[in-house]
Structure 1
Amino acid sequence: MKWIDLPPIWLICFSIMAGVQVKFYPLGLSFGGHWADFVGGILIGGGILLILLAVSEFRRHRTTIMPHRTPETLIQSGIFSRTRNPVYLGDVMVLAGLIIVFDAVLSLPLIPLFVWVLERRFVLPEEDRMRREFRLDWARYAHKTRRWL
């Protein structure tokens, strides 16, 4: 059942919730016009780009991308020099972009809820494993690199 507890599955579930909200409970609210599609597209594209940059670093360092496993290497290069969680940040950007593109105004609270789920289910346990595995290297990295932005 661990395959169900993965960030992409959570992203799909939250996206479906936004889609259901706009289909059945739009309440006449709208982000309005083409600018919303543009902003949503930028967020989705930027999120996908962050995820792809992170995946390339995982591959380059030959370590696991699976969130419930301890990586063999502490990646501090590439996009990981800017944020400790580029994949999760990308997921949040994709969700925000989809909510805007769907015109799901009432689904905006799903974004902080999604961040909370990612932190509790993935970020904090991962950081605990990294702290135990990489000790001083992790402490230096965590001190110089922000968790999200």
Structure 2
Amino acid sequence: MKWLDLPPVWLVGALGLAWAQKTWAPMALSFGPVWADLLGGMLVGGGLLLMVLAVYEMRSKRTTVVPHRIPDALVTTGIFSRTRNPIYLGDSMILTGMILHWDAVLALPLVPIFVWLIETRFILPEEARLRRKFVAQFARYAQQVRRWV
């Protein structure tokens, strides 16, 4: 059951709720199709790019991408020099982009709820593990690079 408590599962759940809102309760609200599709597509594409760059960087340092595991290395290069959580930022961008693309106006509150959930369920425990394993190095990194953007 541990596989249920992974960020992609939470993302799929949030996407499912947004899609359900769009499908069964549109409420005649709209972002406007042209700019929402363009911005939505850019967010989804940007989110996927962030995730690919982060996984590449983590693999090159031979450390895990699985949130509940203890990392073998503190990755501070590449995309990690801009944000401490590029995969989670990518998840949030994908959710926001799909909400815009689907024109699911009422699903917008899912974005801050998802961010809060990811931060409390994954980011804070991960940072605690990093802080214990890479004491001074993580302290410097956390001071130089923001958690999200």
Residue 28 of structure 1 corresponds to 28
Q: Determine helix, strand or coil for the equivalent of 2:3.
A: coil
Query: Any unmatched runs of 5+ in structure 2?
Result: none
Residue 106 of structure 2 corresponds to 106
Q: Determine helix, strand or coil for the equivalent of 2:4.
A: coil
Post-superposition shift, 1:70?
A: 1.2
Q: CA RMSD in A?
A: 0.5
**What is the number of residues matched between the two proteins?**
149
Q: Is the 8 A contact 2:22 2:103 kept in 1?
A: yes
Equivalent positions of 1:1-149 (< 5 A) are 1-149=1-149
- Cα distance in 2 for partners of 1:52, 1:140 equals 25
% identical aligned pairs: 58
Post-superposition shift, 1:148?
A: 0.1
Q: Determine helix, strand or coil for the equivalent of 1:3.
A: helix
Q: TM-score of the superposition, structure 2-length normalised?
A: 0.99
Structure 1 stretches of at least 4 aligned residues deviating more than 6 Å after TM superposition: none
Q: TM-score of the superposition, structure 1-length normalised?
A: 0.99
- Cα distance in 1 for partners of 2:53, 2:118 equals 19
**1:71 alignment partner AA:** P
Q: Determine helix, strand or coil for the equivalent of 2:68.
A: coil
